Structure 1
Amino acid sequence: MSSPAPGPLLLLDGASLWFRAFYAIPEKITAPSGQPVNALRGFTDMVAALITRHSPSRLVVCLDLNWRPQFRVELVPSYKAHRLDESAGADPGAEEVPDNLTPQVDMILEVLEAAGIATAGAQGLEADDVIGTLATRESTDEVVVVSGDRDLLQLVRDDPQPPVRVFYVGRGLAKAELFGPAEVSAKYGVPQDNAGPAYADMATLRGDASDGLPGVAGIGDKSAATLITRFGTLEALVAAVADPDSELAQGIRKKLTAAQAYLEAAAPVVRVVRDAEVTLSRPDLLPTAPADPDRLQTLATTYNTESPIKRLITALETNTASATR
């Protein structure tokens, strides 16, 4: 009887998941110390559920070492500016984060370390860039990216490289959607053979208020997708705008001409970095048992997370994919 095939490389957008856990579970759930642990419990349960669902052989929780990288701010100063913490005494450039979430991030990292689950970051860059780099350089296993950030749809791909899929959890795990090139094409109207890069180009045109990207005035989802489908890439569209002989409606040409400086700046802001210097906390092979079970049990008791941590341990022990490596 043949062994089961190795499972995928699962790349988790850490902050995206623990923010969602924080808002999904009441803060009244606390540790014996009185400290809220809603994000910790919810995040731990999500990791256990994702392991059970996707049976990965490898897993990395990707971190923001800089949530608002300087190169993006220099190109588009409004990038994430609305998320800056402007409260008295806040560090310059700090993100506005709920007071009861910040301590739980350290708790989450403690649990991941004791469980033996790898984390990864890149100096000066966002988790998106870590994910983009790890997904791009993967040459062995299928990649499944888990995030509530639609920008990561730009990473989807099929063969000849191992495929990359995005498990979009923006509406919660129960309503999560798995996207490949076909699904991105069907939902957003971009060409399937170039769906990932085309999505990034469409997003640049359309803009994204959640990231402080204004987009081109008067260009929405449908018109952005139509333009990228017609011209193939944002670069080709910009070249057509500059060519007086190109077949562009006068109104569209006027809008794009007015936004030329924005488009040149925003394209590298929207596109994730794919060649970052990523540092992993440990090898990404998903263990079949906790790396430090005694420490994990202590954390479970200290933080009132016995049930979620038990579910995580069960998910590790019953995940046959990692055992094939």
Structure 2
Amino acid sequence: MLMLIDAASLWYRAYYGLPSSIKAPDGRRAGAVRGFFDGLAVLARRFSPTGMVCCLEGNWRPEWRVELMPGYKAERAQPDGSEDTPEGLDDQVAAIEALLPALGIATATHPSYEADDVIATLASRTAEPVLVVTGDRDLFQLVDDERDRKVVYLARGISKAELFDGEAVATKFGVGPNHYVDFAVLRGDPSDGLPGVKGIGAKTAVTLVNTYGGIAGLKAAAAEEGSDLPERQRKSILETTDYLDRAVTVSTAVTDVDVPVVDGALPHSPADPAKVEALSAEWGVASALARFNEAITTPKA
């Protein structure tokens, strides 16, 4: 089973989940580094993957998405276009990104795409079971029972991560994974800058998606004279057709990103022991790295 990890989701939760008093020997905050690898260890012990790829945010706000939706993730953007990150996180992210290849853990990224797109691409390339680890609801669109694709959702923290298959997605949101994007676009998603459709909240979005088979069917119903679609909703859909088309494209994870073939096999030993030792000492995370190494190398019963 291949575990595809939205690395940013993991290190953000580690950053906020551990106290700021956790410091490196030089006084810098180190909780995100420690928590990231302890989190990976927890996930490895719980789910016993045979492969692992940490997918990195090559471009957190791709220009092609912004061109389609100027407000896309705008609330998180600084004046220079970079992402607004909390104090002390950037240095820790650099340490994590250096430690992963030194440990022999595969990474994947692309400069024009988000980690979600890289995850979707890698999932589309393999026939083996896939677990997607993320705190991003958008990736519920990748859940596929027939192909054995599940999501490990981190909203409640790493230790309380929830496993979602198709039934679990439908139970939580009222729509199946194949219509999660339709639901989110209709309802709106402030964190991504998607305004939604006026007068359509979550409950109405569920009803419309399930009745008309998603946005494509809903648009067809709205364009049809004499449709049974309520007039107020019909008017709202007709007025927002352009938004719906653009938002669906923006919200759909790309499955054909040009990323190299990645060998996600778990390592038996670090790829660069000297670098691991140096970074471990610099950040004071030897214990966390030892726990992670034990989790991925201990034979499973």
Question: 2:76, 2:84 within 8 Å by CA — same for their partners in 1?
Answer: yes
Q: Is the 8 A contact 2:42 2:159 kept in 1?
A: no
Give how far 1:299 is off. 2.0
Cα distance per residue 1:21-46 (max 9 Å; x no partner): 11111222111111211110110110
Give 2:59's match in structure 1, choosing from 61, 66, 83.
66
Matched, 1:144 2:131: yes
Provide the residue aligned with 1:279 in structure 2: 260
SS at match of 2:260: strand
Deviation at residue 288 of structure 1 after TM alignment: 2.6
Which contiguous aligned blocks of 4+ residues in structure 1 show a shift greater than 4 angstroms? none
8 Å Cα contact 2:18/2:32 also seen in 1: yes
Shift of 1:320: 4.0
SS at match of 1:283: coil
Once the two structures are TM-superposed, the CA of residue 319 in structure 1 deviates from its matched residue by 4.5
TM-score (norm 2): 0.96
TM-score, normalization by structure 1:
0.89
Retained in 1: the 8 A contact 2:182–2:209? Answer: yes
- Residue 98 (structure 1) aligned to one of 86, 89, 101: 86
Q: In the aligned structure 1, how far is the partner of 2:83 from the partner of 2:97?
A: 19
The C-alpha deviation readout for 1:179-233, integer Å capped at 9, x for no partner, is 111111111111xxxx222111111111100111111111111111111111112
* Contact 2:188/2:197 (<8 A) preserved: yes
Output the amino acid matched with 1:219.
I
Q: For the residues of structure 1 that align with 2:268 and 2:39, how far apart are their CA atoms? A: 17
The Cα shift of 1:295 comes to: 2.8
Q: How does 1:230-249 map to 2 (within 5 A)?
A: 230-249=211-230
Residue aligned with 1:110, SS: helix
Contact 2:152 2:161 in 1 (8 A): yes
Provide the residue aligned with 1:185 in structure 2.
Answer: 170
Q: 2:13 matched to 1:33?
A: no
Whether the 8 Å contact between 1:114 and 1:296 is mirrored in structure 2 is: yes
Q: Deviations over 1:230-271 (max 9, x none)?
A: 111211111111111221011211221222221111010111
Aligned: 1:81 with 2:54: no
Match for 1:170 among 155, 165, 181?
155
Residue among 36, 41, 45 paired with 1:43? 36
1:317 and 2:271 matched: no
The answer to whether 1:302 aligns with 2:282 is: yes
CA distance in 2 between counterparts of 1:157 and 1:278 reads: 22
Cross-structure match for 1:115: 103
Q: Which residue of 2 aligns with 1:197?
A: 178
Superposed displacement of residue 283, structure 1: 2.0
Letter in 1 for 2:87: D
Stretches of structure 1 lacking an aligned partner (at least 5 in a row): 1-7, 87-91
Could you tell me whether the CA contact under 8 Å between 1:9 and 1:56 is conserved in 2?
A: yes
Q: CA deviation at 1:123?
A: 2.6
Whichever residue aligns with residue 157 of structure 2, its letter is G
- The number of residue pairs the alignment matches comes to 301
